Amino acid sequence: MITCEQVNRTFHGPGGEVRGLSEVSFTVARGEFVAVQGASGSGKSTLLLTLGGMLRPSSGRVVVNGHEFYRLSAAERGRVRAEGIGFVFQLFHLVPYLTVLDNVLAGLPGSVDSTARKRAAALVDEFGLSARAAHSPATLSAGERQRTALARAILKQPAVILADEPTGSLDPENAAAVFRHLAAYQQRGGTVMVVTHGQDAAPFASRTFRLAQGQLAELNASPTAR
Amino acid sequence: MSPLALIWKELWHHRANALLVAGGLALAVALLTVVRLTSVAAERETRRVMRDLGFNLRIIPRDTDMEAFWANGYSDQTLPLDTVPRLAAQHGLFVTFNHLTPTLEHRFPVGGRDALLTGLGLSVIGPGEKKQPLGFVIPKGSVYLGSEVAARLGAKPKSKIELAGRSFTVERVLAESGSDDDIRLYTALEDTQALLGLPGRINEIKAIDCLCLTADQDPLSQLRAVLEKALPEAKVLQLRALSDARAKQRQMAERYAAFAVPGVLLGGALWIGLLTVLNVRERRAEIGLWRALGRSSSQLATLFLGKAALLGLLGAGLGYALGTAVALRFGPDIFKVTAKALEPDFALLGWAALLTPVFAAVSAFLPAMLAVAQDPADSLRAD
């Protein structure tokens, strides 16, 4: 499902060269829940954006859902992303001028028909947001915002969900709820990759990696979670 | 969700930005509407003033004795009447000359004293033009009398007078002018030709100089060069003071339009560009999100350019209404002579509705491209 081969990403700044990712190689199979732990600045977001086709690596190969991403044009990468990858971000990134329901629908690549509206409404209900469906993001709590973002990622039933610090702005209760939703998605056959600075994703993950100074190392494999 | 629905929702969310863009466009359209309507009024008013000043070119037979001409006020030589259509048929003539009006003028005894009998033919104007004729259009059998002649004859409008045994109706008695017009009798050209026994002849073609060059730009040599080619048997005299006044007025009006229109367009473009840049900066995270959701460059550009075009349409309507209201409210105080002719120009509304959205989209193009080129990783990266 996801293959990274010797991926490097170097940034050039006024302070000199910074290695965001260094010789990163791993494979994630379909239906896995993988957690990547790392301190702030360790390269977690760089890894996730690289896997999402939004940050070209300096070298190496990235294959997601059968597509070797960086051999595709930007438009083709956009299409692959629109159809097969769901994103969840720490800062939610909801569209401020859309309602909760419309934000969830914004995740769909094509036109929105009545079936899609019904599915979105059902998802909003499943995520406990029915009463907030017509509200704007500004009026939501952090937990509600992240659940909205999660519903948006799940609605199109992507092959992979990439979550970047999805619980970084949430209290423990809401954080646990987010991981439960991600785990439920994985149990329905989806692939999930979560990067966090803490260990709170580990109990839900089948495998856990640690990222430090751009280098990735596998910590353990959890047969129970798998 | 359709791009239009997204644009509409974003407009409503960022109302202040939208209002500033639409307001800026409305102001620009209003200014251009005022400039356009008042320019038309100013042109109309200038034309009226210039018409009142009269002709500024005199085309006379080349063999005219100039000393006698200036002493009498008319040429002692004549030209055939078909000189006018021959002159008018010259290619490109109306770039230089216009309102070609054949006249025949001679001293003529009236009430025991000499008057200036002047026959006026119909003016010939440039093809396709809708200009009002200069001077008078006098029906056959009628006369316009200068004030001195009318006083001498005791004539009033609708009274009859006799000239060389022929009866004429006094159509108008002209107000005292302080010029030799006060001893003139104007008739239709054919009547003067009959009275003078010069059928089919004229001794002058009065005209207007269209070059609109001031004296220092030496219009006379150009006028003479054109006439020399078209009508070698004639020569042209220019009433310098009138021509100069006309040229200066025309050039002033052109300078005003040349300054105002680009100034308003440039100001408007900068304003929209600046506000779009601010809008793009404010929406960095949103742009990154749309990228993450797989939206293409053209879809992103549509959001910004479509928004600009929609606001352009709104600005066009508001600006036209505002500009027309201002022009109609204050225009009549400025252009008193042609005040009644100031009216809404609906063709201008059509052009505004067509061009303002295009102008707004072009002004927003560079910032929109900045949005499209923005690296989503910059706004989406958490660590």
Inter-residue contact B85 to B124 (CB < 8 Å): yes
Q: Is the pLDDT of residue A53 over 80?
A: yes
Q: A157 vs B222, which has greater pLDDT?
A: A157
CA distances from A156 to A110, B6, B86, B286, B300 (A): 10, 19, 81, 19, 20
- Would you state the pLDDT for residue B295? 86
| Rounded average pLDDT over A159-163 | 93
- Pairing mode of beta strands B113-120, B97-110: antiparallel
The residues, any chain, with a CB within 8 Å of residue A216's CB and separated by 6 or more, are A21, A24, A25, A26, A36, A47, A209, A210
Contact A44 B288 (CB under 8 A): no
Q: Is the pLDDT of residue A139 over 70?
A: yes
Query: Does residue B118 sit in helix, strand or coil?
Result: strand
Could you list the beta-strand ranges (E) of chain B: 57-61, 79-80, 97-110, 113-120, 142-145, 160-163, 166-173, 184-188, 201-202, 204-209, 234-238
Cβ-Cβ contacts under 8 Å, B14 against chain A: 97
CA distance A9 to A60: 9
- Residue A65 belongs to what domain range? 2-94+158-221
Nearest CB partner across the interface for A41, out of B285, B293, B383: B383
What is the per-residue pLDDT across B280-292, written as a single tens digit (0 to 9) for each? 777 888 888 888 8
CA distance B262 to B207: 34
- Would you state the pLDDT for residue B86? 85
CA distance A223 to chain B (A): 30
Residue written as tokens 């303002």? B356
Total domains present in chain A: 1
Cβ-Cβ contacts under 8 Å, B2 against chain A: 111
- Suggest the residue from A10, A36, A54, A87 to mutate for an interface test with chain B (most B CBs closer than 10 A): A54
Q: Is the pLDDT of residue A4 over 90?
A: yes
Cβ-Cβ contacts under 8 Å, B13 against chain A: 96-97
The residues, any chain, with a CB within 8 Å of residue A40's CB and separated by 6 or more, are A197, B383
CA distance A106 to chain B (A): 7
CA distance B378 to chain A (A): 10
What is the per-residue pLDDT across B120-153, written as a single tens digit (0 to 9) for each? 998 887 766 666 666 678 999 999 999 999 999 9
- Would you state the pLDDT for residue A225? 46
Q: Is the pLDDT of residue A226 over 50?
A: no
Reading chain B (383 residues) residue by residue, the pLDDT tens digits are 788 888 999 999 989 988 988 998 899 899 889 888 887 777 777 766 766 667 788 899 999 999 999 999 999 999 999 988 888 887 766 666 778 899 999 999 998 899 999 999 988 877 666 666 666 789 999 999 999 999 999 999 999 999 989 999 999 999 998 888 899 999 999 999 999 999 999 999 988 876 666 666 677 777 777 777 888 888 888 777 666 776 677 777 777 777 777 888 888 888 888 888 888 777 888 888 888 888 888 888 898 889 889 999 999 999 999 999 998 898 888 777 777 778 889 999 999 999 999 988 888 888 888 877 877 777 776 54
- Nearest residue of A to residue B374, measured between CA atoms: A54
- Suggest the residue from A36, A37, A95, A194 to mutate for an interface test with chain B (most B CBs closer than 10 A): A95
CA distance A206 to A63: 20
- Would you state the pLDDT for residue A14? 82
CA distance A118 to A143: 23
The HSE-up count of residue A138 (CA atoms within 13 Å, CB side) is 4
Chain A touched by B378 (CB under 8 Å)? no
Where exactly are the structural domains of chain B? 3-48+248-380, 57-238
Q: What is the CATH number of the domain that holds A203?
A: 3.40.50.300
- Would you state the pLDDT for residue B34? 87
CA distance B294 to chain A (A): 4
CA distance A111 to A129: 23
Residue written as tokens 């006309």? B246
- Would you state the pLDDT for residue B90? 77
